[in-house]
Structure 1
Amino acid sequence: MLSTLKPQPADKILELMQLYREDPRETKIDLGVGVYKDSDGHTPIMRAVKAAEKRLWEEETTKSYTALSGDPAFGAAMKSLVLADSVDHSRVAAIATPGGTGAIRQAFELAKLMNPDVTVWTSDPTWPNHLSILKFMGLENREYAYFDSETCTVDFDAMMESLKEVNSGDLVLLHGCCHNPTGANLTLEQFGEVAELIADKGALALVDLAYQGFGDGLEEDAAATRLLAEKLPEMLVAASCSKNFGIYRERTGCLMAVCEAPLQAPVAQGTLNYLNRQNYSFPPDHGARLVTMILTDPALKADWMAELEEVRTGMLGLRRQLADELKRLTNSDRFDFIAEHRGMFSRIGATPEEVLKIREEFGIYMVGDSRMNIAGLNARTVPLLAEAIAKTCR
């Protein structure tokens, strides 16, 4: 039977990574892969994570399973980090998942269980894996307008016009902050309008919160999710710990279901546990336990927040440096949006042909839709990128 398998389409980012590795140029720059890198091109282990791991190594007495939902303390810590006091936590069911991707997959599984005919609405563009998972699961997918490629900003009027076609029982996927791949975000007021539309339609919101702390700050980046939780009777939140804790390979995520009333939460919790059992039984615990230790220990949490703030402000500095350098080279403000975008990514509006030219002539690797990882830059490489963009983009 294995002979009947057909080759699967290659992941574009993984292909790009391979091309980068094979490029012999010493001046090459990788802006494709979506991981944070420091000024030396290294993805470091955060100080608080190292300290928690050392403590865990000394204190841990068993490697037995925790629970189908993961350690309840992790769910409680994530509810506090993401939702704070926006909703009564007795209304919230939560499970640990293998990374934010696992949380997204389980959210789609839950939506399918609630409504086998569900249509999932995603922004145009969105993280490609959203679309890949939906296609694999056979779920109906429709896109809503989001990004204006000319201005590199959100086209909110077009977005709201698209969402008028949402039906009761549909799932609307929203990026909580640091939109991937564009870096362009809704304002808090706009999120409020979206919440009202979703409520009027009788649809369900799913917030993908992969970059809390990478945009405007831990509290600021959670503000939209909390506003939606306050305005909507129920919603789903898929949160990732990969970026803000720097524990990519530990695969640590959390799916939260905010129910209309506390009485509904036990049924939702049981259903989420059931889904975990069907897909991978017990979720991984190591990363989740480190996150729990950090969030519940004042000293570790303070150190983690301080280092996360250094990461965030460092990326903002790179954004400002790049925007200023492009303004100098082009004598134009057309790239000022780069400083206004938030998170690791920006989509700069270059054509696939221009992206290819930048790669071939300058050794700078970004995804074909012109999404670039700001965290792949440093103060020395920003001028190189600015020169390549200025010489290439029309």
Structure 2
Amino acid sequence: MFEALTAQPPDKILMLMQAFREDPRETKIDLGVGVYKDANGLTPIMRAVKAAEKQLWETETTKSYTGLAGDPGFSDAMIALVLGDAVARANVAAAATPGGTGAVRQAFDMVKMANPDVRVFVSDPTWPNHLSILKHMQIQMVPYRYFDGETRGVDFDGMMADIAKAGKGDVVLLHGCCHNPTGANLTLPQWREVVALLAKTGATPMIDIAYQGFGDGLEDDAAATRLVASSLPECLIAASCSKNFGIYRERTGLLMAVAQDSSARKLNQDTLNYLNRQNYSFPPDHGARLVTMVLTDQALRADWAAELEEVRNSMLGLRTHLAQELQRLGGSDRFGFIAQHRGMFSRLGATPDQVEKLRADHGIYMVGDSRLNIAGLNAKTVPILAQAIVDCGI
């Protein structure tokens, strides 16, 4: 029967990773894969996570299952981190998932169960896996304008005009902070306008928040998600711990279903439990337990928050350095948007041919749409990248 299978399109980022590994040039620079790297090019284990892991090794007494939704302590800790006191805990159903991707997939499953004809409105551009999962699940995807290729900022008027076409039974997918792949983000006043529009149309918001703490800080990065959750009748939130806890391979995420009507929580929780059971029975626990330990231990949490702030400031410093270097070399401030963007990524606005020239001539690897991972840079490689950008006529 397997002869009936057809070849699937290769993942562009995974292909880029393979090409980078095979490139023999010592001067090559990887700005493609979306992981944080320190000045030495390593993705370190955070201090608090390492300390929690040691404690866990010494005290853990069983590897038995937790529950279909994962350990309740993990849900409590993550809901508090993402939502603060914006929504009562009794109004939030939650389930642990294998990473933020697992949370996104379960969210799409939930909305398709609720409305088999659901349309999901997605920013143009968005994280490619959003589109891949929706296509695989045969859910209708409707793009809405988001990135302005001229200003390298948000096309807010276009966005509002497009999501106004969503209605009750539709879902509008939003990035909570640090938009991937562009780095361009809504202001809080713009978020308020989005909330007012969604309240008018009756569409359900779904927020993917994968980079809390990487933009303007833990609290500021959560502000938009908290506004949405506290202002509208219901929403879904897919949260990832990969980046801000540095536990990529532990696959740790949480899906939250928020309803202002607390009586809806039981049905939402039962649905999340059911979906977990159908997909993988019990979610992984190791990463979730480490996160719980860090967030609930005062000393560990303080150390984690301090290191996360170091990571955030490092990326902001790299953004400023690159923008200044490009201004020095090019004599204009047209790359000033890099310093204004937030998170790991920015989109340069280069053509695919220019991106290929960066790779071929300079050994600089980035995704074909010119998304670059700011965290892949360091003080030595920023001037190299800036000169290459100028040389390639970007």
TM-score interval for Structure 1 and Structure 2 normalised by the shorter chain: over 0.9
Shift of 1:261: 1.4
Who is 2:67 aligned against? 67
Who is 2:27 aligned against? 27
The residue type equivalent to 2:122 in the other structure is: T
Written as runs of structure 1 = structure 2, the 5 A alignment for 1:40-55 is: 40-55=40-55
CA–CA distance in 2 between the matches of 1:20 and 1:185? 29
Shift of 1:3: 2.0
Shift of 1:260: 2.2
Name the SS for the 2:343 alignment partner. Answer: coil
Written as runs of structure 1 = structure 2, the 5 A alignment for 1:6-21 is: 6-21=6-21
Shift of 1:16: 0.6
**TM-score, normalization by structure 2:** 0.99
Name the SS for the 1:208 alignment partner. Answer: strand
Shift of 1:392: 1.2
The residue type equivalent to 2:171 in the other structure is: L
Who is 1:76 aligned against? 76
Shift of 1:366: 0.3
Counterpart check, 1:182 vs 2:203: no
Name the SS for the 2:338 alignment partner. Answer: helix
> What's the CA shift string for 1:300-335, capped at 9, x where partnerless?
000000000000000000000000000000000100
Who is 1:348 aligned against? 348
Shift of 1:393: 2.9
Name the SS for the 2:121 alignment partner. Answer: strand
> What's the CA shift string for 1:56-85, capped at 9, x where partnerless?
001101000000000000000011000000
Counterpart check, 1:199 vs 2:199: yes
CA–CA distance in 2 between the matches of 1:234 and 1:393? 47
CA–CA distance in 2 between the matches of 1:236 and 1:393? 42
CA–CA distance in 2 between the matches of 1:163 and 1:271? 27
The residue type equivalent to 1:81 in the other structure is: L
Who is 1:131 aligned against? 131
CA–CA distance in 2 between the matches of 1:93 and 1:353? 47
Written as runs of structure 1 = structure 2, the 5 A alignment for 1:144-293 is: 144-293=144-293
Shift of 1:150: 1.2
Aligned residues: 394
CA–CA distance in 2 between the matches of 1:77 and 1:315? 26
Shift of 1:8: 1.1
Counterpart check, 1:142 vs 2:142: yes
CA–CA distance in 2 between the matches of 1:315 and 1:388? 20
Say what the alpha-carbon RMSD is for the aligned residues.
0.6
Name the SS for the 1:207 alignment partner. Answer: strand
Who is 1:91 aligned against? 91
Moved over 4 A (4+): none
Counterpart check, 1:111 vs 2:135: no
CA–CA distance in 2 between the matches of 1:140 and 1:39? 42
Shift of 1:262: 1.3
The residue type equivalent to 2:111 in the other structure is: A
Note the residue ranges of structure 1 that are not aligned, 5 or more in a row.
none
CA–CA distance in 2 between the matches of 1:61 and 1:290? 15
Shift of 1:160: 0.4
Shift of 1:7: 1.6
Name the SS for the 2:319 alignment partner. Answer: helix
Shift of 1:241: 0.1
The residue type equivalent to 1:176 in the other structure is: G
Shift of 1:355: 0.4
The residue type equivalent to 2:158 in the other structure is: A
Shift of 1:185: 0.2
CA–CA distance in 1 between the matches of 2:259 and 2:231? 12
CA–CA distance in 2 between the matches of 1:46 and 1:315? 16
CA–CA distance in 1 between the matches of 2:122 and 2:182? 14
Name the SS for the 2:211 alignment partner. Answer: coil
Bigger mean CA offset, 357-366 vs 256-265:
256-265
The residue type equivalent to 1:275 in the other structure is: L
Name the SS for the 2:3 alignment partner. Answer: helix
CA–CA distance in 2 between the matches of 1:203 and 1:151? 29
Counterpart check, 1:56 vs 2:56: yes
The residue type equivalent to 2:3 in the other structure is: S
Aligned sequence identity (%): 70
The residue type equivalent to 2:261 in the other structure is: A
Who is 1:373 aligned against? 373
CA–CA distance in 2 between the matches of 1:226 and 1:390? 41
CA–CA distance in 1 between the matches of 2:393 and 2:293? 47
CA–CA distance in 1 between the matches of 2:142 and 2:264? 29
CA–CA distance in 1 between the matches of 2:197 and 2:281? 36
Shift of 1:151: 1.0
